Structure 1
């Protein structure tokens, strides 16, 4: 008897279980978002997972021309084995090889000849995660739209933007140290 397919599930990009909620709205190819993303593990470790919950929100931006494709790849990864950790692995691969997914001055360079399939294959190579099948699941669109709507409803327009307990925190910058973040989050 054939098995029915398992129900679609995208693992939320959430780490920690503390009462204070830190949300990072990130565009994966933005250098400032990459800098912020690379601090999140240290932030959770230093603040304590019993005191802080970190939520990554995808903030696709049209001037990063492959943004929509890469955001979809990351969210597709969250539907695979490992869930959020697999998504984090894909996001880290984008950050580590940012130029492979970006355009010169947002409008030129070798990526002008890249297709969406080229980008997916490149990201599979760098991350070691098979993404193509998950990328093609139609139900993924609802997850992408949720991230987009959530950003808009909260007045988020650019990345990185940070929220603490539901309020935008304009004093927090990707250039701050983790210690500065902790002081601004809990201060």
Structure 2
């Protein structure tokens, strides 16, 4: 499936030119999405990467799935998209770090925090991923600052709108949801390991 050039870092496994596509819709504050992220990292990236069994055949696109019943979902996805802008190579490491710490952004722990405090925590997490480059953290934070208009959003709002509109037009309601070549693959589960993914890919690619 297509991606704007600016969002190509959302391809987190496989080669951009691979003929098959797994679109995986994930919410940073969804526990099942966190499980799926571990499978992407430990199973799909090795299988689809250099030297992998399915190298050059499949790519994985991380589709941010904002779920507004999670109060911080907008904030955490803005943060992920900000990392895409300032340091694309850190998007996947930041995503894994955010999934690991997702409990800090659940409804109850965030109940008394202001949006500014939540974004400050996300900037701290980004800094841990970026390492010693403090300029990246400053750039990250500046992208999340509100613009001059009282209701104009921030510099990431257009990217966030794209991801929300993409989910809506494809009828995506829950996370994780996985599309294989544009069609929902309901059989895929966040509990899948190497065996299940190998069987799925073998059946699809050799069909």
TM-score category, normalised to shorter length = 0.7 to 0.9
Measured against aligned partners, the alpha-carbon deviations of 1:36-90 in whole angstroms (never above 9, x if no partner) come to 0111132121243412101000000012110001100100110013x1x322222
Deviation at 1:11, TM superposition (A): 4.5
Structure ranking higher in helix proportion: 2
CA distance in 1, matches of 2:163, 2:201: 23
Residue 123 of structure 2 is matched in structure 1 by: 124
Structure 1 residue 148: Cα displacement: 0.9
Distance in structure 2 (CA, Å) of the matches to 1:123 and 1:68: 12
Whole-Å Cα distance in 2 between the matches of residues 144 and 186 of structure 1? Answer: 34
Per-residue displacement from partner, 1:143-166 (whole Å, max 9, x unpaired)? 111111111111111100000111
1:161 aligns with 2:161: no
- CA shift for structure 1 position 139: 4.1
Uncovered stretches (5+) of structure 1, i.e. residues with no partner:
1-8, 104-108
The separation in 1 between residues aligned to 2:192 and 2:176, in whole angstroms, is: 12
Counterpart in 2 of 1:19?
19
1:118-176 Cα shifts (integer Å, max 9, x gaps): 11221222332423112237442221111111111111111000001111000001011
Give matches, 1:1-187, under 5 Å.
9-14=6-11, 15-17=13-15, 18-41=18-41, 42-47=43-48, 48-81=54-87, 83=88, 85-103=89-107, 109-128=108-127, 129=130, 130=137, 131-136=140-145, 138-187=154-203
Distance 1:112 1:101 in 2: 9
Unaligned segments of structure 2, at least 5 residues? 1-5, 49-53, 131-136, 148-153
Following superposition, the deviation at residue 110 of structure 1 comes to: 3.5
TM-score by length of 2: 0.76
Q: Which moved more, 1:121-130 or 1:173-182?
A: 121-130
Q: How many correspondences in the alignment?
A: 173
Aligned to 2:133: none
For residues 39 and 166 of structure 2, what CA distance do their matches in structure 1 show? 23
